[in-house]
A = this chain, B = another copy of it.
Amino acid sequence: MGRPPKFTREKLQTAALSIVDEQGLEALSMRALAQALGTGPMTLYSYVDSREGLDVLVVEAIIGKAVWTHPPGTGWQDDLRYVARAMWQAVRLHPNAIPIVLTRRSRTPAIFAVAESLLGPLRGAGFANVQLLAAFRAVTALIVGMAQGELTGPLALKAGESAAETIAKFEALPRDTYPGLIEAALATDRSSPEGEFDLAMSFLVRGLESQIASQGESDA
């Protein structure tokens, strides 16, 4: 005999996301989420298959909340940059969750929607087939890679370490073995995550433009 569900999937999503936001990824457990909802751990198995399902819940909550529609742009380049930046910002809003956003495979409508809104501008630029696929992969790789690199790249701040301390640490390295690393570390002072992302995207967009242009030539 049927019984109405006690919770909505959305309720679970927001509860799970706030645990991750407030207490970190490790704090998300069947038992912790159940307690946050005022129920027993086993109740959650009516909504998810296993512990993995909790991660998917969080990823969906993050991707789902982002808005991918945008004002009509002035070209595929701007459209692409706009969607990419929105996606990057949505991910960055929940830094604790980034590892699972990168890691959990999920084919949900929300993911499909953002994928399509990246693919639209790329098709508009003239990409098709294998090149469309590669361009799509490159853009998404750059977006998630930049979000993650900000937190855990070699030049990222360590927890409880100031920017000045980070720079000092790199300046103390042997200057003739790590000249590039030292220069890059010094530059972190004059740099911002937004600036770095925009620059990185502009490199890639320039490259995509150049690829399209050279194909246009060989067609003619």
Contacts and interface: CB of A to CB of B under 8 A. Distances in A.
Contacts of A211: 202-203, 206
Given A122-B180, A180-B132, A203 B207 contact: yes
B137 A148 contact: no
Interface of A: 99, 102-105, 107, 111-112, 115-116, 118-120, 122-123, 128-138, 140-146, 148-149, 151-156, 158, 169, 173, 177-181, 183-184, 187-188, 190-191, 195-196, 199-200, 202-211
Given A105-B156, A145-B144, A190-B129, A184 B112 contact: no
Chain copies in complex: 2
Contacts of A208: 203, 207
A134 B203 contact: yes
A115 B115 CA distance: 30
Contacts of A143: 145
A201 B94 CA distance: 28
Given A140-B153, A154-B115, A206-B207, A123 B179 contact: yes
A183 B102 contact: no
B104 A152 contact: yes
Specify which of A104, A136, A152, A210 lies most central, judged by the most chain B CB atoms within 10 Å of its CB.
A136
B207 A115 contact: no
A130 B190 contact: yes
Given A144-B148, A152-B105, A154-B111, A200 B119 contact: no
Nearest to A214: B206
Nearest to A107: B154
Contact of A195 (B112, B130, B183): B130
Nearest to A150: B137
A181 to B, nearest CB: 5
A106 to B, nearest CB: 8
